[in-house]
Amino acid sequence: MINPHGAESLNPRYVSDETERRLLAAEAEALPSIILSSAAGANAVMLGAGYFTPLSGYMNLADAMSVATEMHTVDGLFWPVPVLNMTRDISPIADASRIALRDPNVEGNPVLAVMDLESVEEITLDQLDVMTEKVFGTLDESHPGVAVFRDSGKYCLAGSIQVLNYSYFADEFAGTFKTAVEIRDEIRERKWETVVAFQTRNPMHLAHEELCRIAKERLNADGIVIHMLLGRLKDGDIPANIREACIRTMVDVYFPENTVMVNGYGFDMLYAGPREAVLHALFRQNMGATHLIVGRDHAGVGDYYGPFDAQTIFDEIPDGALDIEIFRGDHTAWSKKLDKVVMMGEVEDHSPADYITVSGTRMRELLSEGVAPPREISRPEVAQILIDHYQIGEEQTAVGE
């Protein structure tokens, strides 16, 4: 099986021993505490689940700046995106060296993790600008990831953590949320050697399904892990429970048994385009995938990135930085001439009129009207789930008005 990034074994920061975890939870209630931002809480979940191996906690400012500008820590560990605990107010923790980190996304703000506080540093505006520009490629606060990052606070809290739970993800997405440890174990149990990961924050339509199938066939892979983002998205994106229903229905109906795993991970979307694509590859390596599908505008938003910037960045990272390999997907669509979904860059003698495509805006209009998109765009079973979702939303809006 592929090795984790920068280590021979995973480094999950979750305290798995029940007695130790109970004692730590009791200790945490007496510690000075802060309520995390949602992004910092998601980082804690990813650290706890082993996805951020070999990291043991949040980065200090020197490492964060080095990662942003050079894509490696001060000590040389390859890493594409700073892993930070940024906060606005440090008065609750005063001069403490050990603090409790409280969950911003669960009622009552229970303790999510305990942190050995190694440093508290103030981020200057210039440093914030550099990190923002390097990671997101823009300072435009209309970019949803930029807006969240720059509003997280000016203090950087660094140090290792011990994680007590997985926030709301384990309960709300029971059976779907999986740690990197659990996914590796299942891959091993299935005896899969070549494993293709597919990242998604959206329901999967026919083109996505076929892209997974194309990658599996060309790589002669044993299986596919469809890995859903379960954390916060921007306004207007489809909720995770609806996406999960769509994906599971598609897999159950249209894929052979024991060829696809459907799992999710507890992280907030960054919308950081190329840099986030590299982060996606890194933690998919940690969960045991040998390949990651990187398609058109992977992890992008709006027009901030070129359609294939998230692929070309892998040509720029140092050789050997990651062991996982990239399967480069082109824009996929139904070809009227060939009567199947194709990657558009691979077929000859096609004009735009030879494809069946529907814009995202038109797709939402159809679903809101209760009209299923063409079968060449979406599986009917998936379309019905989305129609029900959109129509319930319309009804709730009408009642609210």
- Measured over the CA atoms of residue 117, residue 118, residue 124 and residue 125, the dihedral's sign is negative
Query: Among all chains, which residue has been given the structure tokens 């200790």?
Result: 27
For residue 138, which of 327, 271, 308 has the smallest C-alpha distance? 271
The 10s digit of each residue's pLDDT in 356-373 is: 988 777 888 888 888 888
Q: Name residue 162's amino acid.
A: Q
- What is the pLDDT at residue 393? 56
The H-assigned helical ranges of 29-77 are 38-48, 61-70
Can you tell me the distance from the alpha carbon of 73 to that of 212, in angstroms, rounded to the nearest whole number? 33
DSSP secondary structure string for all residues of 17-37:
-HHHHHHHHHHHTTS-EEEPP
- List, by residue number, the catalytic residues: 201-202
Can you tell me the distance from the alpha carbon of 161 to that of 101, in angstroms, rounded to the nearest whole number? 9
Three-state DSSP state, 375? coil
DSSP secondary structure string for all residues of 99-114:
EEEE-TTSTT--EEEE
Rounded to two decimals, what is the model's pTM?
A: 0.93
- What is the pLDDT at residue 394? 44
The 10s digit of each residue's pLDDT in 69-104 is: 999 999 999 999 999 999 999 999 988 999 999 999
Q: 396: burial class by Cβ within 10 Å (0-12, 13-18, 19+)? A: exposed
Q: Name residue 275's amino acid.
A: R
Are the CB atoms for 249 and 382 separated by under 8 Å? yes
For residue 57, which of 69, 72, 46 has the smallest C-alpha distance? 46
- What is the pLDDT at residue 362? 85
Domains by residue range for the chain, with CATH:
18-170 (3.10.400.10), 176-400 (3.40.50.620)
Largest CA-CA distance found in the chain, in angstroms, rounded: 70
Instruction: Please state the separation of Cα 205 from the chain's center in Å.
Output: 19
Burial 41-78 (b: 16+ CB within 10 A, else e): bbbbbbbbbbbbbbbebbbbbebbbbbbeebbbeeebb
Q: pLDDT under 50 in the chain at which residues?
A: 394-401
